[in-house]
Structure formats: C-alpha cells, structure tokens
Amino acid sequence: MTAPLFAIGLGTGTRGARGNWLEVFYPAPLRNVDAALAAALATHCGYAGGNAALEPSAQQLAALATALGAAGHEAQAAIAGQLAGGRGAPVITVLATDAAPASVPEAYLKLHLLSHRLCRPHEQKLDGLFAVLPNVAWTSEGAIEVAELPARQLAARVAGRTLTVHGVDKFPRMSDYVVPAGVRIADAARVRLGAWLGEGTTIMHEGFVNFNAGTEGPGMIEGRISAGVFVGAGSDLGGGCSTMGTLSGGNKALIAVGRECLIGANAGTGISLGDRCTIEAGLYVTAGSRVTVIDEAGAVVKVVAARDLSGGSDMLFRRNSQSGAIECLSNRAAIALNEALHAHN
C-alpha cells in the first residue's frame, strides 16, 4: 500500500439500543497517513483496504499500541492504549480516499478533520452527510437515541438525578469534541462540530458557526456564519447579522467574506464580499437586490443586481435614507479590530 491514506481516526463512541452508532470522538485524527500506520492497522486490526470503520478488541488495540509506538506514532499509540483499557466502544475509522461519508464513524471523522483544522471548508466531500447522521438527544449524560430518551429520563429521576437535555440535533457542540487553540467561544452551544475556527477568532454569545464553515481568524463574530461560508482575517460580523449559506433556500453559491470587512448589526449578505467591504447596520444585500453604484464624485454610474458586484473589494453598501435605494460606494477604510479586546492570552 504505497499511496497515503486520506485520514485515520482512533476513537470511541456511543451506540443506541439497536447497536447503531450515535456519535464518535476522535481526540487526534490524522490526515495523509503513511504506509507504516496503514500496515499496522492491517496486521493488528484486520484492515483490508478502502474506507472502513473497524471495531477492534482490547487485545488488538494493545498490539496496535505497541506497533504504533515502535513506528514513531507516540500520540496514536497512547490513544490506542487508552482505548484498550477503557469501557467505551472503540472504533478506528480509515478513509483511504475522500469519498462521501457512508457511516456515522466516517461522518464524524470528517467533521473532526474540519474542527481540528486539518481540512478547510469545501476541501472534503460531504455529500449525503445529513442522511448519514442520526438525530440525537445531547444530554448531561452524553448522547442518547431520541426513542430511548423518556426511559432514560425516568431512570435518572428514580435514581435521584435530573437528566438535562441540551439539544436534539444531528450535530453536537464542537467544544465537546474539539477546542482549537487560540479561540474564544462565549456560548459553546452556538458552534457546531465541523466548524473551522482560525486562531484569534472570538465567537460572542449571539454568534453562530455552522459545519463546513468558519473563520480565518482573527475576527469578531456576533452574527451567523451559515454552512459553506468562510470569513477572512480581521473581519467583524455585528450582532444579529447573517450570511446566506449553501443550505439557505436552495442557494448553491459559495459565499465568502474577505479580510477586514464589517457587516453591521442585523445586516446580511447573500453575495461574496472581497476585502475591506462594509454593509451598514440593518441592510440585507441579496443576490437579486438592485444596487445603485456611485463613484467618488457622487455620480450614479449604473444600476445592477448585487450578484454582479459579488467578490468585489472596497465596497460600502448603504441604504439611501430618502429614496430607500441600496447604494454602493467605494470604501477606502479598512476595519481594524481592537487588539486588546480580541486578545486570547
């Protein structure tokens, strides 16, 4: 086996009452795995090629830990050793190629690769992800199959405990699986596993980041980064603002926000923004919005659909208070983030 494998994750997860996987935790996934690790998996865990989710025994994991240590994969060896001596359900997921996820372990490995910053948004095939992921009750006692929830709640009460349900969703909180270095997240429930947060990113209480989306960092996020959207360094998304993702109303266009942009409070964009762009508070610019382009002398140049301006830099979008028209002017001022406010030390 000469070609490197796309990715490998050693982890443990939760099964439902029917034996189906609900979720999987991979503490240190690897991308572009060398042949030595693949050979160790073949020898000790029966890996026979292709994309696979292996469920090794404690004995297999112990032997794998020894082999990985000898091959110089100390971190993976330590994980295999812990899995061998633990009570959880171990799983080793191998992705030989980047194919659409076909199982819960494969889907969770791909989401981990994003949040560990090993794959950037749109670098993986995630087709069919929603169909693969089960809807899960995320509780104070871990992941629970929704159908099992009433019985588990009763059992907890009888035992003198209260089972708290944090949410019912296909995606868990990212921070329960991955906390990337150098970020601040005020409300962990508002960042899904599969978000990509660059160092220096601050997610305030009203900020939200979906899977396969994120920020280059540094940046201040008080608005919504929808699925598929990536925000450049130094940009500020104001409170309650929105970016239109690939899951919004059948939208297929990939929306990007460039560097040093400002989207004002309760504003939004359905087009890509280049660098140093500003959208004034309360203004939502969709692809079909009619925009009056004004030059630096204040003269009207043309009226276009906003999609024709998508990706442009140095643009200021505002609403004319008299006519109500959306105007686009040249924006020469970059947005400078407050260094003290955004320090993460």
Three-state SS at 327: strand
Q: Which residues, 6 or more positions from 75, have their beta carbon under 8 angstroms from its beta carbon?
A: 28
% of the chain with per-residue pLDDT over 70:
93
The model scores a pTM over 0.85: yes
> In this structure, is residue 60 part of a structural domain?
yes
Alpha helices (H) along the chain:
35-45, 58-70, 74-85, 104-115, 129-132, 149-158
Residue 154 sits in the same domain as residue 127: no
Dihedrals φ, ψ of 174, to 5°? Answer: -60, -40
User: For 152-199, what is each residue's pLDDT tens digit?
Assistant: 999 999 999 999 999 999 999 999 999 999 999 999 999 999 999 999
Name the residue range of residue 150's domain. 138-169
Other C-beta atoms lying within 10 Å of the C-beta of residue 35: 12
- Mean of the per-residue pLDDT values of the chain: 92
Residue 108 sits in the same domain as residue 125: yes
**Predicted local confidence at residue 34, as pLDDT:** 82
Cα–Cα–Cα angle for 229, 234, 240, rounded to 5 degrees = 55
pLDDT category at 340 given cuts 50, 70, 90 is very low
> In this structure, is residue 189 part of a structural domain?
yes
**Predicted local confidence at residue 4, as pLDDT:** 83
- Treating both helix axes as pointing N-terminal to C-terminal, what angle do 58-70 and 74-85 enclose, rounded to 10 degrees? 160
Count up the domains in the chain and report the number: 3
Boundary (domain end) residue, out of 131, 161, 195:
131
Residue 36 sits in the same domain as residue 112: yes
Domain of residue 251, CATH code? 2.160.10.10
Residue 81 has pLDDT above 50, yes or no: yes
> In this structure, is residue 198 part of a structural domain?
yes
Question: Worst-scoring range by mean pLDDT, 202-211, 231-240, 246-255, 277-286?
Answer: 246-255
136 in Cβ contact with 245 (< 8 Å): no
Residue 178 sits in the same domain as residue 302: yes
**Predicted local confidence at residue 338, as pLDDT:** 43
pLDDT (average), residues 77-90: 93
> In this structure, is residue 338 part of a structural domain?
no
Positions marked active-site: 222
Residue reference for tokens 């024709």? 308
Token readout for 121 is 């948004």
> Considering Cα of 232, then 32, then 178, then 138, what sign does the dihedral take?
positive
Residue 23 sits in the same domain as residue 158: no
> Considering Cα of 339, then 340, then 342, then 345, what sign does the dihedral take?
positive
Domain of residue 85, CATH code? 3.30.70.2010
Residue 200 sits in the same domain as residue 313: yes
**Predicted local confidence at residue 332, as pLDDT:** 61
Give how far the C-alpha of residue 267 lies from the chain's centroid of Cα atoms, to the nearest Å: 23
124 in Cβ contact with 110 (< 8 Å): yes
> In this structure, is residue 122 part of a structural domain?
yes
Q: Which of 143, 153, 152 is nearest to 89 (CA)?
A: 143
pLDDT category at 341 given cuts 50, 70, 90 is very low
Cα–Cα–Cα angle for 25, 29, 31, rounded to 5 degrees = 150
